Amino acid sequence: MRLIFDAHADLAWIALACNRDLTETLGQINQREIGMKREKGWGDATSCLPEMRRGGIAVCLGTLFARTNRKADSCSKEYLRTDYDYGTQSMAHAIAQGQLAYYRQLESEGEMKIIRTPDELDEHWQHCLASASPVWPIGNIVAMECADPIVSPNQLEKWFRDGLRSVMLSHYGKSHYAVGTGDNGPLTHNGIELLKEFEQVGMILDMTHLSDHSFFEALEQFNGPVMASHSNCRALVPGDRQLTDEQIRLLISRDAVIGIACDAWMLVPGWEIGISQPKELTMASLVNQIDHICQLSGNVRNVGIGSDVGAAYGTEQLPSDFKSIADLQGLTTLLTQRGYSNSDIDSIFHGNWLRFFRNSLPTLM
């Protein structure tokens, strides 16, 4: 079993918003949720802490996820959700702080290890390598999906002291800092000011979910480390949620890593959420995404895993041969069949993200 570095996991949101105990097994979670009413994914969980360990996931980016309210016309209706939204930035701030408190509590229980520095990353990784069985706490580099909980740019340093290490400026539609998926537009004045604070404190900019206009402007404005935690390729699947080849090449030029996401509608053209069926898709589609980035870069240096598994959906929105996050291990066979070497696969599974964060995390807290 190869160790995996997964660059996107909405652990705190799914636990607290959906009342899901992530320390239980998948069987326990799904049994508990039988008969519960929810749009999708209820009783069909695909990820939890024991399952992550079983799948060899040693480190993830565990998100803090809250947005402020937006008008119904702020993004396309097929993208519009309201269960992440709160009325003000102060409310979003409080929700994200609560999610951070959940991670801290998991750490106190030995279920998780919050990682802040390269030394902590290396120490944790070596601990996982030395483990005879996957019993480690899940390493967590705390990330923020949408910057709205940062009430003002001058609050960023406090968030950084709290352990936050990576931030997306927006999610869907307009945030207080940028424009995201389903809409298009520039950074706001506060967005430009926030990027200046990023450079001052050493925060990593996650380019995922930025609209095209905000994407290119953010790259121009920001000179620090950039990545795309969970983004696929627009050349393979049309839509502004995916990255164009031009955007991918720009990220490669900044030595970024792009994490491939497992959500079905990001893997195959024409997938309709709630209509299309998993039988129409296999994990080979993940390899197609990985291979496209490798072809653009000429090597395997700039691609990794950013699964987004265990978010607000279950197996109904994953490839037919993907039943749990532990099935990421199946990529080994698929990549080998495409001609990738063991060294290449190690780079994709964890090596590229380890290099990126060793170079991008602060040496001092």
> For 205-220, how does the pLDDT look when each residue is reduced to its tens digit (9 = 90+)?
999 999 999 999 999 9
Asked if residue 65 belongs to a domain, the reply is yes
Residues 48 and 39: their CA atoms lie apart, in Å, by 20
**In this structure, is residue 204 part of a structural domain?**
yes
**What's the pTM?**
0.94
Domain membership of residue 351 (yes or no) is yes
Classify residue 120: in a domain, yes or no: yes
DSSP 25-78: -HHHHHHHTTT---SS-TT-----HHHHHHTTEEEEEEEEE-EE---GGGS-GG
Rounded distance between C-alpha atoms, residue 77 and residue 79, angstroms? 5
Residue 350 has pLDDT above 50, yes or no: yes
Q: How many domains does the chain have?
A: 1
What pLDDT score was predicted for residue 365? 57
Model confidence pLDDT, tens digit, residues 181-198:
999 999 999 999 999 999
CATH number for position 190: 3.20.20.140
Looking at residue 33, its pLDDT comes to: 83
- In this structure, of 154-168, 176-190, 193-207, 305-319, the range with the lowest mean pLDDT score is 305-319
Q: What is the mean pLDDT of residues 73-101?
A: 76
Structure confidence at residue 82 as a pLDDT band (50, 70, 90): low
95-135 pLDDT, tens digit each: 999 999 999 999 999 999 999 999 999 999 999 999 978 89
Task: Read off φ and ψ for residue 232, nearest 5 degrees.
Answer: -105, -170
Domain membership of residue 45 (yes or no) is: yes
Residue 335 lies in a domain: yes
Is there a domain that residue 365 lies in? no
Note whether residue 239 is domain-resident.
Answer: yes
Predicted confidence (pLDDT) per residue in 258-280, tens digit: 999 999 999 999 988 888 888 88
Per-residue pLDDT at 325: 96
pLDDT, position 43: 61
Instruction: Identify the domain containing residue 265 by its residue range.
Output: 4-360
- DSSP state letters, 188-257: -HHHHHHHHHHHHHTPEEE-TTB-HHHHHHHHHH--S-EEBSS--BTTTS-STTSBPHHHHHHHHHTT--
Residue 78 has pLDDT above 70, yes or no: no
* Average confidence (pLDDT) over 16-34: 90
pLDDT at residue 194 in the model: 98
Percentage, residues of the chain above pLDDT 70 = 94
